[in-house]
């Protein structure tokens, strides 16, 4: 099909294939006051403003043009386009968080940064002037300075007034800039995790990923927000530099003593820097495993209870707490050694200063005032150097956190078909608010920020995927597949299966045969390693994944609900649209869920608890069906959707499913063969292939594996 003949991506068109009673998401009216607001569920990630008109060239010379400003999607298709995710379009891994990136994010707040720098100079100048005024004060007292005392005191008073005002301005501005930078980083890292391939989530635990966004980014945040006080961070640095300059001006002979102090401390800091990295790293990892253990324990609390696993979980948690404690103590020891060495260096310097300076004052070479200033500056330097060392410690922790984030997220596991589709949508569905700006960062990530340069800009137009799915068969052609984490184990070995349009195909077979794997491939959580999946003859890889997600609905044994209200869970069927309450109720009625929802304490506003834990299995299932009804996708996958239910719930859910299946291309996976005997076709999957195919009676008559499975189940029932 030529892309030019395709309907524009944004064109609002009623779906001619909609079964009666279902809801086309393009035609849902705008949000009214009585409608659900889904702001808590909706998040947007948006493109660079510069990207509204561009022409790109994919790697390997595949040309692709993409003009988003015209509310259409004439993505030029390249007949030679290769669907190889693994080779040519893989960018070289590079650090996700780099100094360059942080700098470019900071520069987005030039004005505030400018104010922060000026106020930093101002308050540091005030601080640095104080010992000088103390010296003058002593000079006036001993009569070495002819200035009246009140004039000097009024100048000191002005200084004392200015310093806190400038400090407030510095802290507020610096903090605001950093908070904004951190929000952008958080949003970008969240997005980066979100668009990883599914195997990434097989590899990393939720706790580890949570740790990236909480503790790791937290330590990066602290490096500035915890270091804006007087004796830390930039102020400490400016005070160290300023103090040394003043000391050299006041007394070129005494200043080298303090210079030596600085050198020795800097040398220590350098050694400290090298030696504490592994300790910080271990500390961060220990913290991540604590959060991992907490997440796992509490999310599986019922399993823990039912097995009496509390003691085991306690010991597991205790072990992790102890290793966190161990690394924390080690870290503390490093810090204390550092502090002591700093202090020793300062005390030695002070003592030297008293000896040398005292003798110079006695000899009349140095005034009492200058000597008093010198002592004052030594203390200023003491605090500033200590603060600087602490800041270096925090910086070390942050560098270790950045290293952790980079080591997890700088790989090349981005699901490019998903990222590209998401990005393309963001070009179109702009939301002009602060939320959008969080994701609008030029140059943050090559893969997601420059769709014009993306090899996938050569993908064909996607706007007709829905039409194809409503009208064409789905074919799995010679599909081979191994899970990325177990590449040597072949799960599907040349599987061929056609899901005829608008009919129900059941996939049955022994446990481990690969039935759910077929579902994962149809949902495009993974792509086949060989062979292809087509819709009306088109390879599904020609469509971006976010568009494909709109045409496939999955209802499985354990539907996951979000911890929001019942209504919002149903409306999640169309997460990007404003869904009216009427449509939610219609979907709930069709799913046999309306009556029980009304009996809940707050009806559609009742919160369902974490993962829907406040509802029964059957209720959760019917809400999931209502959600799928609202989604109105042409392809429906039911993966053991009723297997966990009792007889009454099963009947209610089955009625709802019958409603949902009408007119859709449906794949049903079930162990209980009685639930699929009315399917138009039954495919028996064995060893990653379709071994038998036909209607129930055909397969029973064949007396093959299916017939023996039926017999086994009948015997078990009797
Ligand atoms: N994410 C994964 N990574 C690695 N291997 C996996 C993964 N998921 C499933 N497998 C393996 O793939 C094989 C097929 O699993 P699949 O879930 O498709 O079987 P099934 O036919 O649906 O089984 P059942 O009827 O018991 O649900 C199994 O051996 C399983 O261990």
Q: Write the secondary structure of 580-630 as one string of H (helix), E (strand) and C (coil).
A: CHHHHHHHHHHCCCHHHHHHCCCHHHCECCHHHCCCCHHHHHHHHHHHHHH
| pLDDT tens readout for residues 301-343 | 877 887 788 888 898 899 989 989 998 998 888 777 767 766 6
Of residues 455 and 172, which shows the higher confidence score?
172
Of residues 42 and 8, which shows the higher confidence score?
42
What is the CA 350 to chain-centroid distance, rounded? 51
| pLDDT tens readout for residues 598-656 | 999 989 999 988 777 788 888 888 888 888 888 888 998 988 877 656 677 677 777 77
Shortest CA distance to 25 belongs to which of 38, 12, 42?
12
Looking at every residue in the chain, the average pLDDT score rounds to 75
Please compute the mean of the pLDDT values over residues 196-221 and round it to a whole number: 82
* 274 Cα–ligand 1 center, Å: 45
Report yes or no: 607 and 634 within 8 Å, Cβ to Cβ: no
Residue 232 clears pLDDT 60, i.e. is over it:
yes
Task: Band the pLDDT of 664: cuts 50, 70, 90.
Answer: confident
* CATH of 464-560+636-715 given 3.40.50.300, 3.30.200.20, 3.30.70.260, 2.40.40.20: 3.40.50.300
Q: Ligand 1: which residue has its CA nearest to atom 10?
A: 483
* 553 Cα–ligand 1 center, Å: 20
| pLDDT tens readout for residues 254-280 | 788 777 766 676 676 667 666 777 887
Among the atoms of ligand 1, which is closest to the Cα of residue 685? 21
* 701 Cα–ligand 1 center, Å: 29
What pLDDT does residue 87 have? Answer: 42
* 518 Cα–ligand 1 center, Å: 10
Residue 667 clears pLDDT 50, i.e. is over it:
yes
What pLDDT does residue 66 have? Answer: 27
Number of other CB atoms surrounding residue 138 within 10 Å: 18
pLDDT-wise least confident of 91-100, 129-138, 546-555:
91-100
Q: How many CA atoms lie within 13 A of 51 on its CB side?
A: 25
Give the helix/strand (H/E) hosting 151: helix 149-194
What pLDDT does residue 229 have? Answer: 65
Task: Band the pLDDT of 35: cuts 50, 70, 90.
Answer: very low
Q: Which residues are near ligand 1 (CB < 6 Å)?
A: 202, 483, 485-486, 491, 511-517
Give the helix/strand (H/E) hosting 634: none
What pLDDT does residue 513 have? Answer: 87
Give the helix/strand (H/E) hosting 259: helix 255-299
Residue 115 clears pLDDT 90, i.e. is over it:
yes
What pLDDT does residue 497 have? Answer: 92
* 419 Cα–ligand 1 center, Å: 26
| pLDDT tens readout for residues 42-55 | 333 333 333 322 22
Residue 216 clears pLDDT 80, i.e. is over it:
yes
Among the atoms of ligand 1, which is closest to the Cα of residue 513? 21
Domain map of the chain by residue range? Answer: 464-560+636-715
Residue 204 clears pLDDT 60, i.e. is over it:
yes
Shortest CA distance to 639 belongs to which of 568, 531, 555?
555
Residues 6+ apart with CB under 8 A from 497: 475, 476, 505, 507, 518, 683, 690, 693
Tokens of 270: 């350098």
CA–CA distance, 623 with 589 (Å, rounded to integer): 10
Q: Ligand 1: which residue has its CA nearest to atom 9?
A: 517
pLDDT-wise least confident of 15-24, 243-252, 549-558:
15-24
Q: Ligand 1: which residue has its CA nearest to atom 2?
A: 483
What pLDDT does residue 243 have? Answer: 86
CA–CA distance, 717 with 205 (Å, rounded to integer): 40
Top mean-pLDDT range of 4-8, 178-182, 447-451? 178-182
Shortest CA distance to 563 belongs to which of 621, 593, 607?
607
Percent of the chain with pLDDT over 70: 76
| pLDDT tens readout for residues 670-717 | 878 877 888 899 999 988 889 999 998 898 888 888 888 888 876 554
What pLDDT does residue 55 have? Answer: 26
| For helices 149-194 and 217-225, angle between their N-to-C axes, nearest 10 degrees | 170
| pLDDT tens readout for residues 84-111 | 444 444 455 567 788 888 888 888 888 9
Q: Look at the block and give the residue holding tokens 């799928």.
A: 628
CA–CA distance, 691 with 693 (Å, rounded to integer): 7
CA–CA distance, 127 with 110 (Å, rounded to integer): 25
Q: Ligand 1: which residue has its CA nearest to atom 24?
A: 511
* 514 Cα–ligand 1 center, Å: 6
What is the CA 116 to chain-centroid distance, rounded? 30
| Helix (H/G/I), strand (E/B), else coil: 294 | helix
Q: How many residues does the chain have?
A: 718
Please compute the mean of the pLDDT values over residues 288-306 and round it to a whole number: 82
Among the atoms of ligand 1, which is closest to the Cα of residue 517? 18
Question: Is the four-CA dihedral 557, 562, 567, 570 of positive or negative sign?
Answer: negative
Backbone dihedral region for residue 564 (phi beyond 0: left; psi -120 to 50: alpha; all else: beta): beta
| For helices 368-409 and 233-250, angle between their N-to-C axes, nearest 10 degrees | 150
Residue 443 clears pLDDT 60, i.e. is over it:
no
Residue 479 clears pLDDT 90, i.e. is over it:
yes
* 703 Cα–ligand 1 center, Å: 27
CA–CA distance, 305 with 312 (Å, rounded to integer): 11
Residue 77 clears pLDDT 70, i.e. is over it:
no
ipTM of this predicted complex?
Answer: 0.96
Phi, psi at residue 97, to the nearest 5°? -105, 120
Q: Ligand 1: which residue has its CA nearest to atom 13?
A: 512
What pLDDT does residue 714 have? Answer: 67
* 415 Cα–ligand 1 center, Å: 21
Residue 455 clears pLDDT 60, i.e. is over it:
no
Q: Fill in the DSSP letter of residue 35.
A: S
CA–CA distance, 94 with 97 (Å, rounded to integer): 9
Percent of the chain with pLDDT over 90: 10
Task: Band the pLDDT of 482: cuts 50, 70, 90.
Answer: very high
Among the atoms of ligand 1, which is closest to the Cα of residue 509? 21
Pairing verdict, β 552-556 and 504-508: unpaired
Task: Band the pLDDT of 414: cuts 50, 70, 90.
Answer: confident
């Amino acid at each position: 099909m030529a892309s030019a003949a395709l309907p524009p991506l944004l064109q609002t068109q009623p779906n001619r294939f909609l079964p009666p009673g279902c809801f086309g998401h393009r035609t849902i009216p705008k949000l009214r006051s009585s409608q659900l607001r889904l702001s808590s569920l909706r998040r947007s990630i948006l493109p660079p403003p510069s990207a509204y008109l561009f022409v790109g060239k994919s790697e390997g010379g595949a040309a692709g043009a993409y003009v988003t400003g015209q509310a259409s999607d004439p993505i030029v298709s390249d007949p030679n386009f290769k669907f190889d995710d693994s080779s040519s379009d893989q960018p070289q891994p590079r650090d996700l968080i780099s100094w360059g990136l942080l700098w470019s994010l900071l520069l987005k707040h030039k004005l505030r940064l400018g104010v922060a720098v000026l106020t930093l100079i101002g308050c540091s100048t005030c601080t640095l002037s104080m010992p000088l005024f103390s010296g003058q004060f002593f000079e006036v007292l001993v009569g070495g300075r002819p200035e009246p005392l009140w004039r000097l005191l009024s100048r000191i008073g002005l200084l004392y007034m200015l310093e806190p005002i400038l400090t407030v301005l510095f802290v507020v501005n610096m903090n605001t800039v950093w908070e904004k930078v951190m929000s952008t980083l958080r949003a970008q890292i969240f997005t980066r995790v979100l668009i990883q391939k599914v195997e990434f989530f097989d590899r990393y635990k939720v706790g580890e990923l949570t740790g990236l966004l909480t503790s790791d980014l937290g330590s990066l945040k602290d490096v500035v927000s915890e270091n804006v006080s007087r004796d830390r961070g930039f102020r400490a640095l400016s005070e160290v530099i300023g103090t040394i300059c003043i000391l050299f001006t006041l007394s070129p002979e005494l200043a080298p003593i303090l210079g030596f102090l600085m050198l020795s401390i800097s040398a220590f800091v350098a050694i400290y820097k090298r030696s504490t990295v592994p300790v910080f790293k271990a500390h961060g990892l220990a913290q991540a495993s604590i959060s991992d253990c907490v997440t796992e324990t509490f999310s599986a609390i019922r399993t823990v209870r039912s097995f009496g696993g509390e003691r085991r979980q306690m010991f597991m948690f205790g072990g992790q707490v102890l290793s966190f404690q161990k690394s924390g103590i080690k870290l503390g020891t490093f810090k204390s050694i550092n502090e002591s060495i700093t202090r020793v260096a300062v005390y030695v310097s002070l003592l030297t200063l008293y000896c040398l300076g005292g003798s110079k004052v006695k000899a009349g070479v140095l005034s009492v005032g200058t000597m008093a200033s010198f002592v004052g500056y030594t203390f200023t330097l003491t605090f500033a150097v200590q603060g600087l060392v602490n800041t270096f410690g925090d910086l070390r922790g942050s560098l270790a956190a950045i290293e952790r984030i980079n080591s997890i997220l700088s790989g090349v596991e981005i699901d490019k078909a998903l990222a590209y589709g998401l990005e393309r949508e963001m070009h179109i569905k702009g939301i002009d608010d602060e939320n959008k700006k969080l994701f609008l960062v030029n140059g943050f990530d090559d893969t997601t920020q420059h769709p014009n340069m993306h090899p996938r800009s050569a993908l064909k137009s996607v706007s007709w995927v829905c039409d194809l799915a409503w009208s064409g068969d789905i074919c799995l052609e010679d599909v081979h597949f191994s899970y990325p984490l177990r590449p040597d184990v072949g799960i599907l070995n040349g599987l061929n299966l056609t899901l005829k349009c608008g009919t129900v195909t059941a996939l049955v077979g022994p446990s481990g045969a690969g039935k759910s794997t077929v579902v994962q491939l149809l949902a495009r959580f993974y792509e086949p390693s060989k062979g292809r999946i087509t819709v009306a003859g088109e390879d599904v890889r020609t469509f971006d994944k976010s568009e494909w997600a709109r045409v496939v609905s999955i209802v499985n044994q354990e539907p996951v609900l979000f911890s929001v209200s019942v209504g919002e869970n149903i409306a999640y069927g169309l997460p990007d649209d404003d869904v009216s309450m009427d449509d939610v109720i219609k979907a709930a009625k069709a799913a046999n869920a309306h009556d029980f929802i009304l009996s809940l304490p707050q009806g559609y506003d009742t919160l369902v608890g974490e993962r829907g834990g406040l509802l029964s299995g059957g209720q959760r299932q019917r809400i999931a069906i209502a959600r799928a009804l609202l989604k109105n996708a042409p392809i429906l996958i039911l993966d053991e959707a009723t297997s966990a239910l009792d007889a009454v719930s099963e009947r209610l859910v089955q009625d709802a499913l019958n409603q949902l299946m009408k007119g859709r291309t449906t794949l049903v996976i079930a162990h209980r063969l009685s639930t699929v005997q009315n399917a138009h076709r039954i495919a028996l999957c064995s060893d990653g292939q379709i071994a038998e195919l036909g209607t129930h009676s055909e397969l029973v008559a064949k007396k093959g594996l299916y017939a023996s499975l039926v017999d086994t189940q009948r015997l078990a029932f009797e």
